Amino acid sequence: MSVNTAAYKQLIEELAPRNITLVAVSKTKPVEDIRALYALGQRDFGENYVQELAEKQALLPPDIRWHFIGHLQSNKVKYIAHFVHLIHGVDSHKLLLEIDKQASKHNRLIHCLLQIHIAQEETKFGFSDIELMEVMDAIHKYKLLGQLKNLEVEGLMGMASFTADPDQVRKEFMYLKLLFDKCNTLEIPIKLHTLSMGMSNDYQTAIEEGSNMLRIGSLIFGARE
């Protein structure tokens, strides 16, 4: 077992008074490690791969809140729609509609975050600032037409650049918080309350810039092989 229980307990002590959700990123980690953290009270776990998530969900307690944090292809939504708690990386209209379609088959409301491209790397996914405003407007129009009844957009998610420059990371988190606040000033009845940003190497900066949901993996589980 590779769970760093001391680091986990310290994190919980730090985050609990601030009402910040800790998503333990368990991708590639064995079920035993998840059970060990579950025994300490952790309930939110994040996975990047659909097949791995589905396999783990079948083996673990039903009260775990599973977060899908990877890039989700539309044709894979059906495999997690019956249990997923929160989908972090919604980055297209097509994916929004597919999540709603699959959620309706299970009579569920699936909560989602819109992924915003804030990093310098072109390889990262997400909406631009202009596309974000367009998709917020589109979601409002879909709702007015009686669509997206089984999908709830509750916030934004973004990943900072992979860089040793802390000022660059801070700037990107500040920008995401700015967009988050801007969305909540739009004259539409969609209010965002979750801002998911910050991982093992930059979570302190993310908290300082307004994050209320962190995705922490290596700090808890150790480096991935």
Report pLDDT for 224. Answer: 65
Note the pLDDT of residue 79: 98
Q: What span, in angstroms and rounded, lies between the C-alpha atoms of 37 and 219?
A: 13
Q: Which pair of structure tokens corresponds to residue 90?
A: 């919604």
What is the band of 122 on the pLDDT scale with cuts at 50, 70, 90? low
In a domain, 143, yes or no: yes
- Residue 86 resides in a domain: yes
* Cβ-contact 40, 9 below 8 angstroms: yes
Q: Between residues 125 and 54, which one has the greater pLDDT? A: 54
Instruction: Please state the rounded mean pLDDT for residues 66-82.
Output: 97
Looking at the domain assignment, is residue 163 inside a domain?
A: yes
Q: Is the pLDDT of residue 99 over 90?
A: yes
Q: Name the 3-class secondary structure at 100.
A: helix
Q: What is the DSSP annotation of 167-216?
A: HHHHHHHHHHHHHHHHHTTSSSS----EEE---TTTHHHHHHTT-SEEEE
pTM (whole model) above 0.85: yes
In this structure, are residues 115 and 126 in contact, taking their beta carbons and an 8 Å threshold? Answer: yes
Residue 223 placed within a domain: no
| Total domains in the fold of the chain | 1
Model confidence band, residue 123 (pLDDT cutoffs 50, 70, 90):
low
Angle between helix 129-144 and 93-105 (nearest 10): 40
Q: Which range among 10-14, 117-121, 154-158, 219-223 shows the weakest confidence by mean pLDDT? A: 117-121
On the question of pLDDT at 225 being above 70, the answer is no
pLDDT beyond 90 at 163: no
| CATH at 113 | 3.20.20.10
Count of C-beta atoms within a 10 Å radius of residue 160 = 27
Contact 216, 23 (CB under 8 A): yes
Q: Is residue 202 part of a domain?
A: yes
Reported as a single tens digit per residue, the pLDDT across 18-48 is 999 999 999 999 999 999 999 999 999 999 9
What range defines the domain where residue 202 resides? Answer: 5-215
Residue 1 has a pLDDT of: 61
For the segment 170-193, what is each residue's pLDDT rounded down to a tens digit? 999 999 999 999 999 999 999 999
Mean pLDDT of 53-82: 97
In a domain, 112, yes or no: yes
Using a 10 angstrom Cβ sphere, with 0-12 exposed, 13-18 middle and 19 or more buried, the burial of residue 195 is buried
How confident is the model at residue 162, as a pLDDT? 86
Please provide the average confidence, as pLDDT, over all residues in the chain.
94
pLDDT of residue 119: 84
Rounded to 5°, angle at Cα 178 from 174 and 183: 150
Average pLDDT over residues 85-89: 96
